[in-house]
Amino acid sequence: MYKSLSICDFTPKEEIETRLEGLRKRMALEDISFTVILQNVDLFYFTGTVQKGVLIVPADQPPFFFVEKSMYRAGMESPLEIIPIKKDKDIGSILSDKNIIRGRGGMELDVLPVTLFERWKSILGHDNFVDVSPLIKDLRLIKSAFEIAQIIKSGQIISHVFQKAKEIIREGMREVDIDAALVAEMRKINHQGFLRMRGFNQEMMCGYVTQGYSATISSNADVPISGFGLSPAIGQGSSVNVVKGGVPVIVDFGGGYNGYITDETRVYAVDELKDIFLKGYQVSREIIEEIMGFAREGVDATEIFAKALGRVKAAELEKYFMGHGEGQVSFVGHGLGLEINELPVITPRHKTILKEGMVFAFEPKFIFPNEGAVGIEVDFIVRKDGLQRVTDSPIDIIYV
Amino acid sequence: MYKSLSICDFTPKEEIETRLEGLRKRMALEDISFTVILQNVDLFYFTGTVQKGVLIVPADQPPFFFVEKSMYRAGMESPLEIIPIKKDKDIGSILSDKNIIRGRGGMELDVLPVTLFERWKSILGHDNFVDVSPLIKDLRLIKSAFEIAQIIKSGQIISHVFQKAKEIIREGMREVDIDAALVAEMRKINHQGFLRMRGFNQEMMCGYVTQGYSATISSNADVPISGFGLSPAIGQGSSVNVVKGGVPVIVDFGGGYNGYITDETRVYAVDELKDIFLKGYQVSREIIEEIMGFAREGVDATEIFAKALGRVKAAELEKYFMGHGEGQVSFVGHGLGLEINELPVITPRHKTILKEGMVFAFEPKFIFPNEGAVGIEVDFIVRKDGLQRVTDSPIDIIYV
């Protein structure tokens, strides 16, 4: 029964081994003797399953995968040997005679809450820890063939949504009703149900349908367009604003398949768009076409940002690029994988040399205060000789 | 435009003031000189808005609400005075001459990641902090009339879902297709889009449609029924399992309105249920009817659990109550509010005397390995003279 309900591939054993080896290599460079993995996403990456448990990775020995529950699922999904435990505190005594918990330990200190950190220091009887998340992020930056296959399937979910949106969006409809219909369409073709974003207070939805004023209001989120939402409690996402002629309807959706996230945006319109939006759309499109012409392994991400900004400046749209006023963000692209905010970031703030297997969303967008927003977002896989699109969904304005 | 898109009430000024006063009172008892509020949900509770910012609550002065972005939304939504900042590190110098950052500080150490905690210690030039979250949870335990009004509206969303489910569920349908349709129905009547659960690694969806085998598989989540999900990456939620006759279809949905969460479960069936499920359903129902007869302000939550367990034992269903084997959980109810895992917990593990204004989900459920699950979940508001249901949705088995 278990097998018949499993529609996604399990992470292959060799894949898990390669990842663990990548982590150990990075640990050695930082003189980390052992790493403690607790966060859901990292656990999935290194074990192939997301259970209540902990993975301890010594620098020089096979890993210890302790599982509290579900043992049953862990056994089905993970190629690692599983050590059953009743309570996390049992781990201290199991490991105490193995000479593993010594020297500098690594923990995911960017996400691990303080009280849990204190608890683990006490369980392990050790208090010398550094943040291992930068190493994990660096490792996860390059996607394997297996991962890219999952990402392509995740992208197919978005392509389907963009097709359905053409049938669904009509003048006078509320953003949230379009959102409801599109999220249901995604789920019906096996969207995983939610998306993950790393970090404290990071929250997101699977879909954002926004247009006009509601697309111009910024939020606490570090994104160019977050939507007005339905209440001050969740000040993001689709709102009750209705679709009007001449103003772009922004459809920004996140695919999710076997953990892997994709994130693209298209513009829909009920009538010919106002000139300012057409201009913004055209510049977004030129930026995307330009990057597809030159970006490849070896290119610096800051150069991509600079070229995009060059086109924006030439069009005198700088004030509106990637937000307006307090809402302006300093990137035009972000990495994708098991989390929606992975590396690389396409920003002038830090240099990243593109490498085969990196995957990122690229989203030149313009926000015109009070008027509305326009832009395109596409996902790219970095190859030696260029960029490969994740989806084959056209990027034209879609008139409905 | 802002006002016309706002469909939920903003948190009234007096409400915010009462909450801050409640926090200060608890801080005084614990000798906490100031509290730093950073988490989204707590920020919303104390400010009425969720922005990138921080609220500093001194024991003996009005609060300081620093906002990085969105200033615009914060100004619209919060009755508090707002202090604009460019970067969080500006706060240290603003506060340095005010004699506020002294003595024991309070921070939300149950959710605040280690690296952020270190950053804030450095920004504030202070390193004497205790976990203030138990105080906040205690304060949030009793809901105001305003909060209960939001909860009732949240419950109306669930009632709607349960009605629609009768039209939608049919033999042979996949759980995830039913889920897709019901989540869309919720969203169309302004469900907020996602639910919040406090704590590290806590993840959840708005809906769980599970039946038969897939309802019996446990997960990392501390819940009796979590579903099989669609991949090992997210091992919870609806699956591709199809609805069959004689086996209960569990529909467990979470309403969300203006931040406030409700959480109820109903059983649907395409043919007469097998005897074991009918028996489990009947015991669940009797447990709920019994609690409605005796629980009120002053009753101990451990007594509620004990009475429920008494009925379960009399029916010889103890092995299946609230999970089976490794999946068994030790509670039969949990508090509701801005997060789905608030206080009180209805468990034998700790005494809680019920008080007017507490709100909790009560969910006697039975999981029969390989066979399926059955149960009912209803939300209650504690009143002086009894329990008030949050929804008026009937709890009968719904034959479709």
Q: pLDDT tens-digit profile of B186-203?
A: 999 999 999 999 999 999
What CA–CA distance (Å, rounded) separates B326 from A52?
11
Residue A18 has a pLDDT of 98
Closest CA–CA distance from residue A40 to any residue of chain B (Å):
6
Q: Is residue B97 over pLDDT 90?
A: no
Please give the residue of chain A at the shortest CA–CA distance from B226.
Answer: A70
Q: How far is CA A21 from the centre of its chain?
A: 24
pLDDT digits (tens, 9 = 90+) for B260-284: 999 999 999 999 999 999 999 999 9
CB A15 within 8 A of CB B248: no
Question: Are A109 and B112 within 8 A, CB to CB?
Answer: no
DSSP letter for each residue of A53-117: EEEEEETTS--EEEEEE-HHHHHHH-SS-EEE-SSTTHHHHHHTTTT-S-SEEEE-TTTSBHHHH
Cross-chain CB nearest to A69 (options B39, B109, B220): B220
Residue ranges, chain A, pLDDT below 70: none
Q: How far is CA A280 from the centre of its chain?
A: 25
Residues of chain B contacting A184 with CB distance shorter than 8 Å: 180-181, 183-184
Residues of chain A contacting B51 with CB distance shorter than 8 Å: 219-220, 235
Question: Are B7 and A230 within 8 A, CB to CB?
Answer: yes
Q: Which of B233, B182, B172, B173 is nearest to B208 (CA)?
A: B182
Residue B220 has a pLDDT of 93
> For tokens 């043992």, what's the residue?
A71
DSSP letter for each residue of B298-333: T-BHHHHHHHHHHHHHHTT-GGGBTSSGGG--S-SE
In angstroms, the first-to-last Cα distance of chain A is 44
Question: Are A70 and B194 within 8 A, CB to CB?
Answer: no
Fold classification of A2-139 is: Creatine Amidinohydrolase; Chain A, domain 1 (3.40.350)
Please give the residue of chain A at the shortest CA–CA distance from B181.
Answer: A184
DSSP A274: P
pLDDT digits (tens, 9 = 90+) for B325-338: 999 999 999 999 99
Stated pTM of the model = 0.97
Burial category of A29 from C-beta neighbours within 10 Å (exposed 0-12, middle 13-18, buried 19 and up): exposed
Architecture of domain A141-399: Alpha-Beta Complex (3.90)
The b/e string for B232-248 (b: 16+ C-beta within 10 A; e otherwise) is: bbbbbbbbbbbbeeebb
Confidence of residue B130 (pLDDT cuts 50, 70, 90): very high
Q: Is residue B183 over pLDDT 90?
A: yes
Residue B1 has a pLDDT of 86
Q: Is residue B96 over pLDDT 90?
A: no
Residue A96 has a pLDDT of 86
Question: Are B200 and A259 within 8 A, CB to CB?
Answer: no
> For tokens 């367009």, what's the residue?
A225
pLDDT digits (tens, 9 = 90+) for B4-51: 999 999 999 999 999 999 999 999 999 999 999 999 999 999 999 999
Closest CA–CA distance from residue B268 to any residue of chain A (Å):
20
Residue A97 has a pLDDT of 86
Residues of chain B contacting A261 with CB distance shorter than 8 Å: none
Q: C-alpha distances in angstroms, A186 versus A163, A207, A397, B85, B183?
A: 11, 10, 21, 39, 12
Supply the mean pLDDT for chain B: 97
Question: Are B201 and A40 within 8 A, CB to CB?
Answer: yes
Q: C-alpha distances in angstroms, A258 versus A20, A186, B210, B351?
A: 20, 14, 19, 41
Token code pair at residue A50: 């997301």
Structural domain boundaries of chain A?
A: 2-139, 141-399
Q: Which of B397, B124, B110 is nearest to B246 (CA)?
A: B397
Cross-chain CB nearest to A258 (options B116, B194, B231): B231
Residue A392 has a pLDDT of 97
DSSP B200: T
- Which residue(s) pair with B162 in the sheet? none
Closest CA–CA distance from residue A366 to any residue of chain B (Å):
18
Helices A40-47 and A133-140 sit at what angle, rounded to 10 degrees?
50
